Structures are given as structure tokens and as C-alpha cells.
Structure 1
Amino acid sequence: MKKNITRRVVAAAGLTGAVAMGLTSLAAGGATAGPLPGGTVTRTLVDGTPVTVTLYDEYVNVQRAVTNVPTSREVWLSGKIKVTVGGKAEGGSVNAGYLVGCQVNFGASGGAGAEAGSNQFGQEWKWTDTGRPSASGGFTLGPGQATYFPIIETTSGTDTAYENYHVNSYSFKGKKGGVVYSQEKFGLDGCAGYASAKAKVKVTVSTDAVKGVITLYGKPFSIG
């Protein structure tokens, strides 16, 4: 089976050391850069298995696109994800990325908050398939639209259909696992209004008795 890592993401059972981000705050041209609070959540599965998911050292750098078009932005993201499991669990899988919206209020920001939200007019926002990242990591969103940008993306197998060939999770064995990502970039085009994003980390853990899914949401932040 073919399986290639196609993004600059490092996954390991134990996370040590720091990620060299090389990012600084910029005041000119509407650019913003700075740390984000990350978050942590602990859940106990029905068979008593404890699972803790932590997002830390999260950092964002937002700048205008090089084309200097007001409806376009470029975003770089860095962070670390640590997962600890107990009980009879021996590993799990991590799916991580960012929910991105144009004129969208993502609502609850912590724990296992819902993804539901509204646009600036109080209307329910909609997902859009056009938001699927291209090979260059960019997508187009209109008002009231939202999409998901994965920071883990692998390719697997021989079926090249997008949903079968692209895998957005990392599996680990043992009691600890995690993901480190550094300066993952995406471009947002076509959003003439306010744009925001927040991290979404989904961890799946299975034992002989149960399969549990724990979701951690980061704090929403503006991308211009």
C-alpha cells in the first residue's frame, strides 16, 4: 500500500523540543501574528478509559496575499497536539485541521463545542465543497460559507478518488501520541467580509469494549 506524507507534519509517540516557527508580529499592511491559547479536554469512555487531548504552542501569522487583493488572505499556522490514553487502550488516531469561514461565527470555542454557527446576519452558515484545498493549499469562500483545512494529509492506496486517496489522520500505538505542525499555509480568496478560523482536533480511541471519539476545539481567531 502506498502511503506518502504530503505536508510538513511530524508525528511521534513522544513530543519533545520546540518547533522553530520564525514568526514575528507585523503591524503594516493589516498583517497580524501571535500566539493562540490552544486548549485541552479530558474525557472518560464508557468502559472507564481516560483520554486527554491537548493543543499547545499554537501560533498564527495572517498577511494579505502577495496580489494585495482585499478579498484574499494568506495564513500560516503552527502548533503541537498531544494525546494521552489510559486503561486498556493501546493507541488511537488523530485528525486535525482548522474550520475556516467567511462572515461566520463559530460559536463555542472550548471542549467538545458544536460546530454550528451563523453568519453576520444571524443566518445558518453552510459548508461548501468548493472550499476543498487545492494542491497549493488555497480555497474560495463566499459570505456565510465555511470549510475545513486539514493539517494532516496523506495519500494511500491506488484509488485516486479524492475521498479514497486522501487520508487526514495519523495513527499511533501505545499510551501517547501526537502531531507537530509548523507554518502550514493556506490561502483564502473571495471573502469580501470578516473571516475567522479555529482549530479542530478529533481523536478516535478503540478498546475491546468501546470506540470513542473526542473532539477539541481551539479558540476562534480573526483572519481579517
Structure 2
Amino acid sequence: MINRTNAARAAAGLAASAALVLCSGTAQADAFVALPGGELTQTLSDGTVVTVRLVGESATISPSMGSTPVHRNAWVSGSAQVELSGPNANDGKIYPGYIVACQVTVNGGGVTGGVDAKSDWEGKKPEIGGKAGGNLSLGPGQAKSMYLLDQEEADDFGNESHATRNKFQGTHGSVTWADSTLGITGCAGYAQARAFVRVKVSTTTVNSVLTLWGQPFSIG
């Protein structure tokens, strides 16, 4: 004879166990990744020495609100610092950001190769004047740049415009960011990201652009 009370308790226990397994399968803890940053020094044709540093860089990989395999989410932090030296040093512009890729390997090149760094992301280098935004839609084999700054200002005609750079006068400039969102949708394969600091330097005789790359990191 079946004891209905015991059967009900067993059924309730199975339901609770199933719920526990389901929750444990979807709940994930944030993963903190400390990144080494980097430094790049280059001497321009007029003798101006440009030093670009990426310091205090880190990423926290977090479960996406989408809770599906095609969603990724990370919070990134760091500081881009530029130092100029020489009698012709004048001013500069700093464009910090990240390149994010779906099923594209980003290893290689290091952080000292500047704009000539070799990697599987060749041809996908950040362009000055790109768009800022925390969320990207990527398919397999795609890579896109995401700028961290979105500064609203008036253009020469008084119309609203948006800039992805921080301008500085003199010999020093910097941009610091904390817990900036890096979100991806549509990527069913592995995803990686890599910080960059794109710098445009203007002296009394030379205009030059150089790029410092950070270390690639996985975002799932």
C-alpha cells in the first residue's frame, strides 16, 4: 500500500532538487580579470617624444541580462595616459576604446607594436572618429571597435556633434574609466576583446597618430 503522505513529500523533494539544479546551471559568479596594460614610446620626425600608457586595466566578466549563449557582458576599467616631451610639443587627442570580436583570434602583436602591430585583427584597427557605445551586435568572424567617450559639443556651425576623444593642451593628457559596459549580442561562438589607446599628436611641425594595444582577454 502506498503512503500518500510520503509520496507527496518525495515529489516535493524532487521538485525542489530540480529547481536547485536549474538555478545552479544558470547562476554564474562575476569573474575579475587583472590585465597588464602596456606602454608605447615613439619619437616623431621633429624629435618630439610621445609616450602612451595603459595602466590599472581590468575587466569583470559578468553574466548577461540576456542569459543566453549569444549574449556576453563585461565591465572594463583602466586609464590612458599620454606624455609629450620636446620643444615642439603642443597638444593631443586621446581616443580610448576596445575592439570586440566574435570567433576571431586576437593574440599576437603585443602592446609595443603601435599601429604596425601584427595580429589576426589586421585591417580592423580603430578609426579616429568612430562611434561610442556600450553594446555591439556581432556575428561569427566579425570585429568592431567601441569607443568609451561620447562628448556632446557644438560644431563650427553651432550644430550638435559627438566626439570620441579627450583633447589636451601642453604635454600631458589622460582619460580614466571605471566599470564601463562592454556588451555583445548575436555571438554564438567564443568572444574576445582588446583595449586600445589611439592618440593623435599635433606639434608645431608634425601631425602623427599612434596606437597602443592592450592584452586580449576572453569574454566567454
Larger Rg: 2
Task: Give the equivalent residue in structure 2 for 1:58.
Answer: 57
User: In 1, distance between residues paired with 2:138 and 2:58?
Assistant: 23
Q: What is the 5 A alignment of 1:38-117?
A: 38-87=37-86, 88-106=88-106, 107-111=108-112, 112=114, 113-114=116-117, 117=120
* 1:216 CA displacement: 0.2
Q: TM-score, normalised by structure 1?
A: 0.74
SS at match of 1:64: coil
Contact 2:38 2:212 in 1 (8 A): yes
Task: Give the equivalent residue in structure 1 for 2:35.
Answer: 36
Contact 2:132 2:150 in 1 (8 A): no
Q: What is the 5 A alignment of 1:52-201?
A: 52-87=51-86, 88-106=88-106, 107-111=108-112, 112=114, 113-114=116-117, 117=120, 137-157=134-154, 159=159, 165-201=161-197
Instruction: Give the structure, 1 or 2, with the largest relative contact order (CA under 8 Å, sep 6 or more).
Output: 1
Task: Give the equivalent residue in structure 1 for 2:214.
Answer: 218
Q: How many residues align?
A: 183
- Aligned with residue 209 of structure 1, among 182, 205, 210: 205
* Residue type of the alignment partner of 2:50: V
Q: Relative to 1, partners in 2 of residues 1:133 and 1:193: Cα closer, same or farther, differing over 3 Å?
A: farther
Contact 1:98 1:150 in 2 (8 A): yes
Q: What's the C-alpha RMSD, in Å, of the aligned pairs? A: 2.3
* 1:64 CA displacement: 1.7
User: In 1, distance between residues paired with 2:209 and 2:55?
Assistant: 20
* Residue type of the alignment partner of 2:187: C
Unaligned runs of 5+ in 1: 1-27, 119-123
Unaligned runs of 5+ in 2: 1-26, 126-130
Contact 2:90 2:170 in 1 (8 A): yes
Which deviations, in whole Å up to 9, do the C-alpha atoms of 1:10-58 show, x marking residues without a partner? xxxxxxxxxxxxxxxxxx6264212100000000000100000000100
User: In 2, distance between residues paired with 1:39 and 1:153?
Assistant: 24
User: In 2, distance between residues paired with 1:154 and 1:193?
Assistant: 33
Contact 1:125 1:145 in 2 (8 A): no
* 1:109 CA displacement: 2.9
* 1:62 CA displacement: 0.9
Which deviations, in whole Å up to 9, do the C-alpha atoms of 1:130-163 show, x marking residues without a partner? xx665xx212100000101111111222556xxx
User: In 2, distance between residues paired with 1:49 and 1:77?
Assistant: 31
* Residue type of the alignment partner of 2:215: K
- Indicate the structure with greater helix content: 2
Aligned-residue sequence identity (percent) comes to 39
* 1:116 CA displacement: 5.2
SS at match of 2:79: strand
